[in-house]
Structure 1
Amino acid sequence: MSSAMSQEGFQSVSEESPGDTSLNALETQRGTPGKTPIQILHEYGTKSGNLPVYVLEKAEGEAHQPSFVFSVKIGDVSCTGQGPSKKAAKHQAAEAALSILQQDNETVCGNRVDGIPNRNIPVKSESNGVAAETNNHPNSVGILQELALQRGWRLPEYTVLMEAGPPHKREFTVTCRLESLSEKAVGNSKKGAKKAAAEKMIAKLQSLSGCSEITWMPKPSVRFENLRNSSAEKMCLLRRNPLSIPNTDYIQLMLELSNEQGFEVTYFDIDELTVNGQYQCLAELSTSPVTVCHGTGISCSNAHNDAAHSALQYIKIMASIK
């Protein structure tokens, strides 16, 4: 498998779906000039709640005659396509998936939502009139997990930060963490909040990539061995100087050190106050192994500063061990 696979994998088409997107109308759409199989499949995925995920499986051949193989997965359907360009291979894969979905629609007429078979129900099972669950939003949690698996990233982590409201109107706050990134969302159920956080994470990845196709890559982890062996300016200052000077901006010191050494620092606020009524937060460093330090203070910024102070103390100790 080509190493280029890690660079590909997530495809999203931004065009809104005009008109009828039911699979019964696919034959008409597929004959419409200017409407590509990728666009039609994306429209179907948006309606059915399973956005297609594309993966570059092979890239071979000479420079003047390249050959690409892409796979596409949408719901429980997986297909591959081959072509002289990445775009052509994706189109072939999308075309193959559309053909299978068209056949499924003709075979299973019970599993439909607005004329589209619901891919969350197994196609071969008999529904016997059981109503399919309508899902108008893409399966963002599944897409994010699949993306992490394709790229070899740590899997997304979801944490319920807070539950509030009366029993009949609960409100949940969930954080989604992926590598060094974090997004927070609120929902009236844990599942809804988790899904909303995943959607925000996908939007952030697309924003960082500068387009709908996700090309963002996390920075490689920095090992403590590298920190111990570093003779760079900020690391030397950390080793020499005490960390007990009042009114020091430890957040800035941590920022300068992380920029010098190539790791990232993420602060996670904890909604719950301490027993003394102070704010809390966690500082996470993208070192190997990952470093997490706790901080408290009379404000959020003071808690961040305290967490940065703890993290600097930890690095100072670990970087001095020979």
Structure 2
Amino acid sequence: MSEERYKSPALKTTSNISLNPEESPNPRKTPIQILHEYGIKRGFLPVYEMEKAEGEAHHPSFVFSVKIGEITCTGQGHSKKAAKHLAAAAALNVLQIHAEKLHVPVKSDSNRAETDHPNPPNSVGILQELALQRGWRLPQYTVLIEAGPPHKREFTVSCRLESLSETAIGNSKKAAKKSAAEKMVARLQSLSGGSEITWVRQLFLHIVKWLQEEAASYCVYCVFQSPKPSVLIENLRNSLGERMSLLRGNPLSALHTDYIQMMLELSKEQGFEVTYFNIDEPTVNGMYQCLAELSTSPVVVCHGAGISCSNAHNAAAHSALQYIKIMASK
């Protein structure tokens, strides 16, 4: 994923993020289901509450909050279901950010004898521990192929962890399973950019991919500590700035068609930064897509899709402006 930045006075440093989902033969669990399972394992179930419902009958807007433990997140969508899913997705993102890193020894690429590694890491156990720590579904192992004569059998086993899948071959089911787990650990290390599996935004972005089936555009925000001081969303409703007053008192369609420019002017006036992340993969309809992140507190992340990259940015900016308009009018 590439990144384009429209800077405003509050500077913020962000890192590149990538999206690499794979289609699963089984239906993927929704963010609500994943968060519920996480809550069961941790002993505190998520609690959802509808914060706001407004908009026209043909274009409604709902805001739902979810509280799980000490974390509270909110999502906005064009249906109650979508808003709840987005709130759950935001909570999962926060839990990913605050989860402790799991250090996994890097597997050597050299073909040394096994005696050089008297205590090789148990990749099957590592994956299971990682799934429990992150609140994911446990890894699933499936024997895909069983071939060869009785004295020289070969087994092909797949390892599936959330939306990722790896396969390996071994002379026994156990050996093939272990090799598949080792390949999955290496895959996770690759996604994290090192030997420490962090996956800060990977699960969130897989959920973003899933949510494309629910709505064309949406907005979520998460409650977590920003790296730098930022503008409180709550303070925007008290702002007397010219741009904020125009946004608060007029329909978006009557103000502008260049929502990127409008968002840039608003961010400069209010003192926060807007960053656009291009998502490499198109939507299922072949449209460009991107995420717009506002350095507010809580952080706001909005999605947009369009027939061109600039159209996608404009759509994401429109979603962000719509969200700010709702929050500033409370």
Question: What TM-score, normalized by structure 1, do the two folds share?
Answer: 0.35
| Structure having greater relative contact order (Cα 8 Å, sep ≥ 6) | 2
Higher-Rg structure is 1
Question: What TM-score, normalized by structure 2, do the two folds share?
Answer: 0.34
